[in-house]
A and B are shown apart, each in its own frame.
Chain A
Amino acid sequence: PPAHSRSDWIGPPDQHSNLRPVIFYVPPEESALERRLREARQEAQASNQRFWARHNRAFRQEKEEFIYSRLKAKGLEMRDESGQKATLNAEEMADFYKDFLSKNLKKHLQYNRDWYKHNFRITFLMGQVALVRALRWLRWRKKSVEQ
Chain B
Amino acid sequence: MSAARRCCPPRALAGLFVWHLRSTGILKIPCQFVHLYRVANSRLITFQYFNSPKRMYVTQCNRDLSQRAKPKSDSIVSPFHELQQLDQDKKVVQKISPVSPVHQSGSETASRSELREMKSAAEAEDSVVPVGTECREDRQWKEMKLQLDDLPGILARLSKIKLTALVVSTTSAGFAMAPVPFELTCFLLASLGTGLASCAANSINQFFEVPFDSNMNRTKNRPLVRGQISPLLAVCFAASCGIPGIALLTLGVNPLTGALGAFNIFLYTCCYTPLKRMSITNTWVGAVVGAIPPMMGWTAATGSLDAGALLLGGILYSWQFPHFNALSWSLREDYSRGGYCMMSVTHPGLCRRVALRHCLALIGLSAVAPVLDITTWTFPIISLPINLYISYLGFRFYRDADRSSSRKLFFCSLWHLPMLLLVMFTCKKSVLGKEDKGHLPGGSHETATEIRLP
Contacts and interface: CB of A to CB of B under 8 A. Distances in A.
Interface of A: 1, 5, 7-13, 15-20, 22-23, 48, 52, 55-56, 59-60, 64, 67, 84-88, 90-91, 93-94, 96-98, 100-102, 104-105, 108-109, 111-112, 115-116, 119, 122-123, 126-127, 130
B72 interface: no
A97 B336 contact: yes
Contacts of B274: 112, 116
Nearest to A23: B141
B266 interface: no
Given A85-B125, A102-B346, A97 B145 contact: no
Interface stretch (B16-24, B222-230, B373-381, B431-439): B222-230
B214 A19 contact: yes
Contacts of B277: 108-109, 112
A31 B227 CA distance: 23
A97 to B, nearest CB: 4
Contacts of B144: 7-10, 22
A60 B124 CA distance: 10
Given A98-B345, A123-B235, A109 B278 contact: yes
Given A13-B130, A56-B337, A67-B124, 4 more contacts: A7-B145, A12-B135, A97-B335, A109-B278
Nearest to B274: A112
Given A101-B341, A126-B232, A1 B348 contact: no
Interface in B95-143: 120-121, 123-126, 128-130, 135, 138-143
Interface in B253-303: 274, 277-278
A13 B131 CA distance: 12
Contacts, number: 127
Given A20-B214, A101-B345, A90 B121 contact: no
A119 B273 CA distance: 15
B90 to A, nearest CB: 22
Interface stretch (B78-86, B153-161, B205-213): B205-213
A115 B215 CA distance: 14
A52 B138 contact: no
A105 B141 CA distance: 34
Contacts of A19: 211, 214-215
A97 B333 contact: yes
Contacts of B207: 119, 123
A126 B214 contact: no
A93 B333 contact: yes
Q: Which 7 A-B residue pairs are closest in the complex by CB-CB distance?
A: A97-B336, A10-B227, A87-B124, A108-B339, A126-B232, A8-B144, A12-B139
B220 interface: yes
Contacts of B145: 7
A13 B214 contact: yes
B289 to A, nearest CB: 20
A18 B220 contact: yes
A127 B232 contact: yes
Contacts of B348: 94, 98
Contacts of A16: 128
Task: Find the residue from A15, A102, A108, A122 having the highest chain B CB count within 10 A.
Answer: A108
A5 B126 CA distance: 37
B114 to A, nearest CB: 16
30 contacts: A1-B143, A5-B143, A9-B142, A9-B144, A12-B135, A12-B141, A13-B138, A56-B128, A59-B337, A60-B126, A87-B120, A87-B121, A90-B330, A90-B332, A91-B401, A93-B333, A96-B336, A97-B333, A97-B345, A101-B336, A101-B339, A101-B341, A105-B341, A109-B277, A112-B274, A116-B208, A123-B231, A123-B235, A126-B230, A126-B232
Given A10-B144, A10-B227, A20-B225, A98 B336 contact: yes
Contacts of B70: none
A90 B140 CA distance: 35
Nearest to B144: A8
A1 B141 contact: yes
A82 B291 CA distance: 52
B143 A9 contact: yes
Nearest to A127: B232
B356 to A, nearest CB: 18
B163 to A, nearest CB: 22
Contacts of A119: 207-208, 210, 231
A12 B140 contact: yes
Nearest to A78: B124
